[in-house]
Every structure is written in C-alpha cells, then in structure tokens.
Structure 1
Amino acid sequence: MNSADLDQLGGAFGEILAACTAVLRPGGTVVVVVRPWRHCGELMDLPTSVISAGYRAGLRPIERNVALLAGIRDGGLVPRPSFFQLGYVRDARARSIPLHVIAHEDVIVFRKPKDSVGEIALPLEGVRAEAEAVVSHWGSTP
C-alpha cells in the first residue's frame, strides 16, 4: 500500500464518517480506533488521514488517545504487537534495517458540533484549512 492507497482508504473512512454524521445527533460522539503501518519502510499515517476525513465529514476531533498493544505480566508491560508487524520488523532487521514494531493504536474521538443543521457543519471551502490546523494542533503519529 502506498500514499495513493492511503488517500483511498482515507476517502473510505470519510464516507463512513459522513454516514455517521448524517444520523448522529448534535453533540453526539463517534470513536475510531486506527493504527499507522509501514509500507516499504515508510510509515503510513492513517490516524491523521482519519482526523482529516472526520473534519471533512462535519465532525470535530475532541480527543486523540493512545491504546498500548500490551499485556501485563508480573506488574510490568509486555508488548503485544500484531503478528504481521512483528514479522515485518524481524525481516527488516535481518536486512540490517533498524525498525521498531508499532506498539499502539490511536483512539480518536469525534463530536458532531451542536450547531450542526445538516450533514456537514461547515462550508467545504473552510474545511481543509481547519483540518490542517487540527492536524497541526494534535500532531501527526510518530
């Protein structure tokens, strides 16, 4: 998957979030759990794409939290990466490429503005600038 595929996936999330916006009451919330992944060593930042898609759908991000992929053993955290991430990182390290497994998922909480009348709360021409400001505020996924 490359950045074009990331745009396509972000667009699909946008369709889902727009459908949520249409049936959500003003002030209602939507929670999305999503994680970044690597393709050819490059980090694909799906969480930030989802934030932008939510903004375009008329939702506002109110929280961005981290859910560790870990268990607890003997009072300490034990990493629980996905099978695919673990294999990808092992293969990369065998080729002397220093990578780390992704050890978290982003938990993004959106709220439909209380002043929403229709499906989209803001005119589309203002959405991109506001989404960029939100991404700047919330930061991108490391």
Structure 2
Amino acid sequence: AIALEDIQRKTDIPVVGVIQPGARTAIKVTKNQHIGVIGTVNTIKSRAYEQALLGLNAELQVENTACPLLVPFVESGRFLHESAEEAVEASLEPLKGKSIDTLILGCTHYPILKDPIQNYMGEHVKIISSGDETAREVSTILSYKGLLNQSKHA
C-alpha cells in the first residue's frame, strides 16, 4: 500500500501489488456500491484502497476500518487454539451497522480469519481477499506471457 511504486521503479523484476486486484474484484461483486475495507493502521491511513476504488468508480461509498488487533492475533498463532470471534468482533464492530455488501481483506494475514469475519459480517457480505485476487492476476499475466511452469514436477 505504501511502497509499491518505489519498489517498481527500483527493480527490473515485475512487481504486482495487492490493491488494484482487490479493488477491481470488489467493484465487480458489489451490488449496492457500498464497500468496506479492513487493513492495518498504515494501510488504512494511506487510503490506498479508497483511492483505487474511487479511481475506478467515483460513485462508490467506501468504509475504511483499521484492525490493529488482527495481525498480532494471527502472528501469535492464538487463532489455532483460541476463539477468533472476540478479536474479529472488536475489530469489525465499526462496520457492523453499515450497509456494505462487500468487504476487502486489505491485509494478507486476514484470510486466516475469513470464517469468523464472514460469520460476524453475515452471509450477505462478499469477502474479497486481496492476496487471492493478486495470485489470480499474476497467474493470468504469466499465462498471457507464456511463462507458466509447465513442468510436471513442482
């Protein structure tokens, strides 16, 4: 969210970010044009997702929520033996009363908590993992350029 353009300028290796793929997918799936974004404090402060979304569709309503509890919760491994519902509820509470129908997981840690996030937000909210969407985009680029690994041995 913060350093992509700098990294792209400093290397000859193609670097694909997570913001645009997540934003494009969210715009495709939203029905009511009201999208939520959760991310780290720095990602939300950068407004990168909001700018990407509004740059593609200025009619959207975007709700940004920083979730500083979730990354440490995932990195500590507590989600393996503790209920994640409390951490998710405390983090996503600002979004609960909003009419969003699509939620972008704006941090690569958050898909680990996808099920409790989905349970808290409700089945009517489509969950978009920016990491998954980026992987799809990279796969498409590699296929288009004929660079996919064709080996039977991974």
What range describes the TM-score normalised by the shorter chain of this pair? 0.3 to 0.5
* TM-score, scaled relative to structure 1: 0.32
Which is richer in helix?
2
Q: Over alpha carbons, which structure has the higher Rg? A: 1
Greater relative contact order: 1 or 2 (C-alpha under 8 angstroms, separation 6 or more)? Answer: 1
Which is richer in strand?
1
